[in-house]
Structure 1
Amino acid sequence: MHDPAARDHDARFRRVLDYIDRHLDEPLDVERLSRVAAFSKFHFHRQFALRFGVGVHRYVQLVRLTRASHRLAFRQRESIMQIALASGYEAPEAFARAFRKDSGQSPSAFREAPRWDAWHAASQVISQIRSTHMTPVHTDDAVRIVDFPETRVACLVHRGDPRLVGESIRRFIDWRKLNRLPPAASRTFVVAWNDPETVAPADYRLDLCAATAREIADNAFGVSPATLPGGRCAWLRHTGSDATLRASVAWLYRQWLPASGYETRDAPLFFERVRFFPDVAEHEAVTDIFLPLGAHTPAHG
């Protein structure tokens, strides 16, 4: 996008998307959001829908319901009433109707046994908009070379359809609660063996890990002992939604790595979850990326 006027429009709409993420618990009507974008309220809704393929009211609703789905599935201590109010609904009945329309389940049924494949289709609208219009910007000085220590972990391996990772996450959370290994006491890692966009669903693998030196007893959750190998890594901090995490990884591979003089090591990319959504807003979530490195050839001037 080279035209200055077009770049200005893009920046103004990106500002709106960022504002929605940062003020999700506040009223987000067209008049307020049009002021953020500095557009006429009489034309803003049409401009938003034409640019993103979804109306602004619907986009805000989907963002709120996506957060609600994570709270229902992963934060059992929050009541459905609390989640409904946080999602902008004054009554749980209205929240239940809206949630069922997108997920095919009532909030209570989803909390009991989420059907992630149905919800995945609805949330893809948000992911597509964010990955296209909210790409993170990184510079070379944001990357650090670190020596990652060999780390013993408890590991749950997810194999198969990436849309069903939520089921594995719930199982892993239940194991951690039972064994009193919350994220505050045990670092959380995710090993990305492959890219869900480039492999068949049946071949997808993701390891969920919690750092611990304890012995891992046999269990019904599928959690077993494993070790994250130590060694030199490129470290990059990603702040924000998982929808834009792939863009940060792509920048590290495409931009930083060729210019760095390093080769990759024969070990998979992995992440450390530092701040979790939905405990924090999506724009405040923090994920550290670790790219295992091998030999280094100094650049010649």
Structure 2
Amino acid sequence: MNDASQQRFRRVLDHIDNHLDSDLALETLAELAAYSRFHFHRRFTALAGMTVHRYVQLSRFKRAAWQAAFRPGVSLTRVALDAGYESPEAFSRAFRQRLGQSPSAFREVPDWSVWAKAWRELDEVRRFHMPAEYTVDDVRIIDFPNTHVACLSHRGPPERIGGSIRRFIDWRRAHGLTPAKSATWNILHDDPETTPPDIFRLDICTSCDTVVPNDAGVVAARIEGGRCAVLRHEGSDALLGDAIRFLYGEWLSGSGEEPRDAPLFLRRVAFFPDVPEHEAVTDIFLPLTARA
């Protein structure tokens, strides 16, 4: 696909993400793509591997499913109606079809192995048609301060991390440490693409000075301060790996810098599904050695 076509198609995907609660008429999307409505749906299907109706349906469902899984304070009826379903029963049928459980059953006992595979179609469309593009000027170097955090360490297969996230959210909510009040961090000890699943480790953290003993497994920890390269990634986590590879590859190769003996870490600035997926914001921190 040439650059002009890529930009036209990306405008459509951005518009869908930003207007999931709107009508999203075929004529409107065709106009954004600068195609006749007689050809737009065929062009979309050829590029995305699914019809535009299917893409919109899956995008709405993904947002709703994430709200059902990670926003327990939101009623399932509200989730269903906001996603455009006529009734909670219709949403439950769609949920069961894709995830093998009803929304209420998932909230009680989630099957994370099915969850991890449920979004691959959408992720592949975004990975191919909405790639993030970076330059060396997008990277800045800062002196990161020692940061005390409350930390829950996830160990085991990456596809089961949803369970750890929910446990951490429950603990965080109980202690009033909302994302608006307390920064959210991930410490990436391992690369999921190269680490055996049974020993994979990722820490889920929030800024916090003290942690009292608890049954959730949350402990006091510290993100070590020092020089760091920082790259801001805006968009889906499906593209996060591309941003990390740019930082380690093109940027690090030409920077004259050396990585410090400390793990890569992230700050989650804006979260999906609280914002449209392409507006999620994650700052990537690569620890660097001190200057002589």
Q: Fold-level match, TM-score > 0.5? A: yes
> Number of residues paired by the alignment?
292
CA RMSD of aligned residues (A): 1.7
Q: Tell me if structure 2 keeps the 8 A contact 1:261–1:296.
A: no
Q: Which runs of 5+ in 2 are unaligned?
A: none
Q: Shift in Å at residue 133 of structure 1?
A: 1.6
Residue-by-residue CA offset, 1:184-219 (whole Å, 9 max, x unaligned): 2221110011221222222321100111111x2222
Aligned to 1:115: 111
Aligned to 1:242: 237
Q: Shift in Å at residue 18 of structure 1?
A: 1.3
Aligned to 2:44: 48
Is 2:219 the counterpart of 1:219?
Answer: no
Range with bigger deviation, 113-122 or 55-64 = 113-122
Equivalent of 2:264 in 248, 263, 269? 269
Q: Tell me if structure 2 keeps the 8 A contact 1:99–1:107.
A: yes
C-alpha separation in 2, matches of 1:72 and 1:168: 16
C-alpha separation in 2, matches of 1:218 and 1:165: 22
Q: Shift in Å at residue 139 of structure 1?
A: 2.4
Alignment TM-score, normalising by the size of structure 2? 0.94
1:91-106 → structure 2 map (5 Å cutoff) = 91-106=87-102
C-alpha separation in 2, matches of 1:198 and 1:31: 45
Equivalent of 2:279 in 261, 281, 284? 284
Q: Shift in Å at residue 228 of structure 1?
A: 0.8
Q: Tell me if structure 1 keeps the 8 A contact 2:227–2:290.
A: no
Residue-by-residue CA offset, 1:154-186 (whole Å, 9 max, x unaligned): 111111111111110000011111222222222
Q: Shift in Å at residue 295 of structure 1?
A: 5.2
Q: Tell me if structure 2 keeps the 8 A contact 1:233–1:293.
A: yes
Q: Shift in Å at residue 8 of structure 1?
A: 2.2
Percent identity for Structure 1 against Structure 2? 55
Is 2:247 the counterpart of 1:252?
Answer: yes
The one-letter code sitting in structure 1 at the alignment partner of 2:180 is A
Q: Shift in Å at residue 86 of structure 1?
A: 1.5
The one-letter code sitting in structure 2 at the alignment partner of 1:262 is E
Equivalent of 1:33 in 18, 29, 32? 29
Equivalent of 1:201 in 194, 197, 200? 197
Q: Shift in Å at residue 47 of structure 1?
A: 2.0
Q: Shift in Å at residue 100 of structure 1?
A: 1.4
Aligned to 1:8: 4
C-alpha separation in 2, matches of 1:94 and 1:31: 27
Aligned to 1:129: 125
Q: Which runs of 5+ in 1 are unaligned?
A: none
SS across alignment from 2:132: coil
Q: Tell me if structure 2 keeps the 8 A contact 1:262–1:295.
A: no
SS across alignment from 2:119: helix
C-alpha separation in 2, matches of 1:30 and 1:164: 37
Is 2:145 the counterpart of 1:186?
Answer: no
The one-letter code sitting in structure 2 at the alignment partner of 1:260 is S
Alignment TM-score, normalising by the size of structure 1? 0.92
Residue-by-residue CA offset, 1:114-166 (whole Å, 9 max, x unaligned): 22221222201111211222111222222111111111111111111111111
Aligned to 1:166: 162
